[in-house]
Amino acid sequence: MNKKILLLILFLIASTTGLNAGTTRPNLLRDGFILRGIDGTLTGPDSNDAWFFELASDVMDKDTIIKAGTKLELLPSSALEMMITHTKTHTAGTYQLWNSTVTRYKERNYIFPAYFLPVNLKDTKSEPDKKTPEEKPAQDSADNTNDRPSIPPDIMKKINAAREEMFRTSQRIPDSDIITLDDNQQAAKNRNTAIIDSVLVGRTAILVKQKNNKYEFTLDSIGRNVEKESFLLLPCQELEKAEQKQSANPEPMRFNIAGILTKYKGNNYLLLNKAIETYNHGNFNR
């Protein structure tokens, strides 16, 4: 009897250990984690036309560490499109990301790039000083793409203020549903950096599943005879939650949404910050 009990206990332990090993989750950064001054290399596209950012150093968020050499997929955005274009002249493809958001969707991390700076990764590593006493330090130049210029403080202040206010309150900004952050457009272009296109706040939209099993949000015209604008949805935790709610409902659902609008190869994309289910109380047809 004792042997049978012992064998049963050993069997249960082995089964539990094997189950835990088979369900080990990958090391992931939290959704919404912001990358500031992270160096890496742009690689791609792959067979699915996806582009990746290969980290040049470890990235740590509390107890989570993503090792150098890890490749994270870059989400479609105006910043990515500008980076791809920039690689035609910056053949090394090495960049530094600023104010770029990490998203999490179905056990994978992605990067939504915002601002980027071209860099020479050799200059970012600590190396022995090889200059002789006769050599003079190089002169500063705004046109030297191997330098590591900083974003002007006034521009960074405006960017951070707009983003933090939207993410903190998720409230409509007075006098406009869509706030275009174009004050920094020319400065961004001059520095080969990408701009945040716009912020969408407090709009009602219908979640629609497409034939390719992907979802789109279509702005709800509430019975008005106007063209309905649609946005392809970028993978993030808020999208995953909305999809779970919709999968349990046979009818298209309405949500009050907020997020960042961007464009990539002529298509409109939305990175969700908020998607709260709303009800029409029978006043309008779905």
Joined tokens for residue 277: 């289910």
Higher pLDDT, 45 or 145: 45
pLDDT over 60 at 281, yes or no: no
Mean pLDDT of 152-166: 61
Higher pLDDT, 45 or 196: 45
pLDDT over 50 at 132, yes or no: no
Predicted confidence at residue 167, as pLDDT, reads 52
Distance of alpha carbon 67 from alpha carbon 102, whole angstroms: 15
Tell me the average pLDDT of the chain.
75
| Predicted model pTM | 0.67
* Residue 104: its H or E element: strand 100-104
| 126 — pLDDT class (breaks 50, 70, 90) | very low
Mean pLDDT of 245-254: 86
pLDDT over 90 at 165, yes or no: no
pLDDT over 90 at 80, yes or no: yes
Selection from 67-76, 160-169, 201-210 with the highest mean pLDDT: 67-76
DSSP 7-30: HHHHHHHHHHHHHHHHTPPP--PP
**Of 63-77, 88-102, 155-169, 253-267, where does mean pLDDT reach its minimum?**
155-169
Distance of alpha carbon 92 from alpha carbon 12, whole angstroms: 54
